[in-house]
Structure formats: C-alpha cells, structure tokens
Structure 1
Amino acid sequence: MKQYTLIATAAMGLEALVAKEVRDLGYDCTVDNGKVIFKGDAAAICRTNLWLRTADRIKILVGEFKATTFEELFQQTKAIPWGDYLPENAEFPVVGKSVKSKLFSVPDCQSIVKKAVVEKMKEHYGISSSWLDENGAKFKIEVALLKDVAQITIDASGAGLHKRGYRASQGEAPLKETLAASLVLLTNWNPSKPFVDPFCGSGTIPIEAALIGQNIAPGFNREFVSEGWEWIGQDAWNRARDEVEGLANYDQPLDIAGFDVDHRMIGIAKENAFEAGLGELIQFKQMQVADFTTQKEYGVIVGNPPYGERLGDRPDVEKMYKEMGKAFSDLDTWSIYMLTSHEGFENLYGKKATKKRKLFNGFIKTDLYQYWGKRPPKKG
C-alpha cells in the first residue's frame, strides 16, 4: 500500500491536541509549528479527514526542496510525479504564501508552479495542445515558501475541517468548531459527568461535547474534496465511513446543557443541535450566568464568555465576570474552564486559576482559565 507524507494543520497552541488525535488513530507523528506530520496510506487520508476534531485540514506533501530562483522552483516542481496524483482532466488551482524567502512574490510563485505542473502533465499524458481541460476532480495545490524552502502540497479536505455540516445558523462571532472541540478535550470531562456551557451562543461547545461523548466522528455529516479522487477510490471512503458508524456509541446517555442570555441564540443552538442529530440530547435554556445553580456534583463548566473587546462593552462584561464568580463560588466539586482575552479575569472572578493555557480564538490572543474541582471518591 503506497504511503504518503500527510500534514494535519493546526491553530497555534493546538498542535499537541492534534498530535494526540493522530496517534490515537494509529499513526506516528512529529509536531511542528502549526502542523502535525505523519505517514499514511489512502485510507489514512479518509480516516483523518473524518475523525480529527481539532485539526484545520489534511494536506498531502508531494514535494519539498530549496528554491532561491524561479528556475529552481520550476524544475523541482516539474520533477514531482504529478501523474500519480492528478488525472488528465484535473482542475488544479494553485495558491501560495512566502515568508522570509528570496522568492517573495506569491503570484509569480503560483504562476511558475502552475506552468511546471502543466508541462509535466502534458508529458505524462502525451497531450500536444497548449492547455489542459481542467473539467474533472479538484486538486488544490499550495506552494509555501519558508526561508527559501518550498513545500508543495495538495489539499485533501476541501472546506476546512471546522465546517462539520451542522451549523444551520450562527451568531455574530461564532466559535470555530475545532476550537470548541479543543476546549472540551482540554478538560477532565467524560460522558458520565454533567457538562454545562453558560454562554452557549449558537451551541457549538455543547454540540462538540455531545459528539465527543458519543464518539461520533466530526466529519460524519459532510463531504471532502478527496472523495472525488480516483486513486483513493470510493471503496476506501466507504470503509472509513463504515468504521465511523461502527464506533459511534449512540446509546451513551449524556447530561449536557447550554445557557445563554439571548433567547434568539437559544433558538439557533437548538436548530444546530437538531441538524447534528443531537437535538434530544442537549438541553438549551435562556438564562444569565448569575442565576446558575445546581445540586449535581463533579460536573464540568466550559465557557467562551464575552471578552469586552469593545470599550463600551467592558463595564457590563466585568460586572458579569464578578457575578459568575459568585454564582460558581460554592461549586467545589465542579471543574470550570473559561476562555477570555480579558487580562483582569481572575481578579474580577475572585479566584486565581489552577492553571492557564494560551490559545488563539481566531486572531485574538486568549487564556483558558482552568479551575479544577475536587475529584470524586474512588469506587470500592
């Protein structure tokens, strides 16, 4: 079975989580800034696209070489066995980026790579015309230059992996599904414990928790660009989807709730949960965090509250952080995880975090404040 070098791209700060997911699927990997690199066959392309909750996309590395001139870039790109990947009528747009490299003009690099692939394809398929039809399956090629080293990859995901296919509607600043899943995986939650998101917005964190709780692959409900590639084949995708269906635990009971002060967001969250097939499993309710009470023990609270990024919003946000601290003050058996960019969060909340972890919500630098509750007594 032919082995490929695969790259799972990751948001900054989430590389270790992506690496754990890759290893859990049975692939050894190495971690670099913004990516996890591993070897796998065609089945691995299917499985990682379907299963990875925290990665942004899957790419196939088809070439890596030093290039300080356009001639080097052209010749080395042309040397790649493009006929192994691209059919005669492939549609292959080329995108690019360049950082700290002599070849700094991205449009020129894209043009050179495109020309090199065309020349190689014409040789491989014996095409005499000056152009290719490009009316077949899509293969998005990327040329990425970093310190004069060119990496040529093909995107095997299509739409980013955060696009799960369940988001019917969203609010103003929706949390990416990959980050929401990461927040759940960074906690000590398991499906036997209560789970609450007091700022649920469009429901992303509770939905991702439910998918994790029932071991439902995040990509079960969507399509991938590489499903149209003949050299992977429909059989490999069918086997990967059969595995997904076989490992899902739809009978796992869950106690997951999402609250939000905005009744419109509760309506959107319910709609998204039903779209994901989880409508009966998650309880959504309009409520402000100051009113939260519970008699349950050993639960987990995960929230992405407003940050007060706009100065006009800051007084209300700071008041809400204080109210949250009071509402949660007696929950000593609960573990609480809050993501915010507000540097004064601990003072306002009234308690120093057990641990802080730096994460990026899009381009916003945030901290995940972690408050670990008491552990339940050991059984027996």
Structure 2
Amino acid sequence: MFTGSEPAVHFPTHLGSTVHNDRYTVLRKLGEGVTATTWLMRDESISDSKYVAAKILTAEATLDIDKGVVRKLEFLKEIAKNAEECDDEGFEHLPILSDSFTVSSSTLFSTSVSALRRSAPTKSLPVYMVRNILYMVLQALDALHSLDIIHTDVKLDNILFSNTLYSLDNEMENFLAAYPAETDGDSPKSQPIPHRWTYKTNAFQAELMTVALVDLGHAPKVILWSDIGPKIDIWAIRCLTFELLVGHWLFDPVDAQPDWGVEDDHLVKMMELTGQKFPDAMLAHAKERDKYFDKSGNLIRIPDLVPVKLENAMANYKIPGLTENDIGLAADFIRDCLKFDYKERASAKELIEHPFLKNKVFSC
C-alpha cells in the first residue's frame, strides 16, 4: 500500500526501480484498476521462487477505510497464516501474502477466467472446464468462510489462472527476455503473464488447470455470525455457473416498457426462473418493499408471471457439447445456490459434494 496525500493518484513506479530497501525490482506492469496497480517484481533477497506480484494502492484507496482496502491486508495475513498451519486445499486457490510493507507482495497469477470465456465464439466454456473452475472457487470460499471472511465480490474477473507456464525462475527469465516490458511513452503498458489454456483445451489437459479467487478489497469480517453472511457468496456462484456454461447472464433485466423499470424486470426474472416468492421475512427488512410489492408479496407492476425452467433457459442457447444430462445437473446445482431464503441455500462445502461437480461421466 502507498500512503500519500493526493487522492486518486497512482504511485509513480518506473521499470527497473526498486522498493523496500532495494529488495524488490520492478519488471513490468501486470494490470491496473481503479484503486491499485499490480506489478511483476523480482525479489533480490532469495535465489529461487523470486518472482512475485506486488499491488500498490492509490493514496485515496489506502486512506479510505470504508472501501475495505485497508482490511484487505489484514485478511491476506490471516489467509497466509492459516495456509501455513492448515491442511486445507482451499488455501491453494487463494492469494498467499509473502511480504507486506508499503507495497504488499503475493502469489503471481495469470489472466482471468473472464478473459478466457470472452475469447470463445459462444462466450462459454466446456462443461468439464466449468466443473474444475467452480470446484476450486468453492474450495477457496470454503477456506475463506472457515475464517469468517466473506468475499462479497465473487465474479469471473476475480478468478485468475495460476502462473504454471512460467513457474520456474529460469522459465520466467526466458519469457521476460523474449517479451520485454513495453511502454506507452513514459508509462508502462499492462502486460499480464499469459497461460497455456484456451477455450479448446480438452478435458484431459483441463485437469491441470488451477485457479485462485483474488481481490479481497470488498471482503468483510463476520463479527456476529449469521448464515446469511457467507451465503452471500453462494448467491454469486449461481451467476458464474450459468454464465460459464451458456455465455449469458442468468438474469438480464431490460427497461423497455413504460409501465415498469429495469428493477421490476430483474425481480420478475428472478421469480420466474426460480419458481420462488420472496420470503415475508426478507421483504419485511427491505427498505423499498412497498415500491415493488403489494401486501401479499406479489409484484405491483408485473403481477402475471411466466415461469421458465432453468433447464429450458439453458437449452435454448444450444451450446455445442452441453448435453441434456449436463444441463439437468447444472440446473439443480444452480437452484441450490438460488434459494431466496438464505437458510435453505447450500454452503460452499455442500456444493463441493454436489453431483454436478462430482459427476465425471460427461466430462470426457
């Protein structure tokens, strides 16, 4: 983290410069977000496994505790401590902090699952690949939830492939020599580390894929434990599953009618695709309940629902290779994530054991 006085200003890192008493050398920019830039750095204090990803926050992000970026370091320290002490595979799919000072360094990753999905003609990935990715993400969530940490921003952009292509130091050195850092004027360009996977990667090769759930910038800590806490993350899993399998959003609301808006359409799609009504207890705590629902819990502006089975919604996209059996298992898996009543929603540990992820008959 960089603590400065000017808001919304990125730390002026230059290629070849060093940080933390010359321990880390800046090699290239891996990516840039609103609140931070991520850099590939070489740890000059060790002889092996010396390449790390270092995230430098803006002054504004560092100072704004409400955004959760300060707590992120606390969470990374807790994950690193437990990864060392616990024999839990879930920690293999989370970023592991290796050092922290004014810049925090951690595991080096490649590009996102989102980028791979978007590269496919159907904007979807093969079912065997989806199973592997979801399994590892759920392992990561199970590990996080065991520490009472809720991610709250589970999305494909925050699921990164591991750096397996250049995992050895000599491999990384050869790669950097062949593909040196590029600049746009004086500013380094973003150049993430590539991986070997494509949307055409077969089932046998896909078994070697590893991913990690990153970006704990919005993660909160559960103080007064409640099931609804970690199950917020489970709600997000249902969207990932649908999007990965068919290349479209599960709920894609529109604002095309004079009598209702995009929020109304979002609510009606949720009810039509799940066959559920929002529980009275949930509506009782909703600040804008009366804006959308009548006293019986029916939508005011769209009272007539047209139920749609998840199986039909998935089959309508006619994704090559997605069989009827795959669709049936996936739809059942998504329904376990889609329970409006959080008490009925599956946990990460329970979803890991779901037949959709356990089933291997249709993955080859």
- Taking structure 1 as the reference length, what is the TM-score of the superposition? 0.21
The structure with the largest alpha-carbon Rg is 1
- Taking structure 2 as the reference length, what is the TM-score of the superposition? 0.22
Higher percent of residues as strand: 1
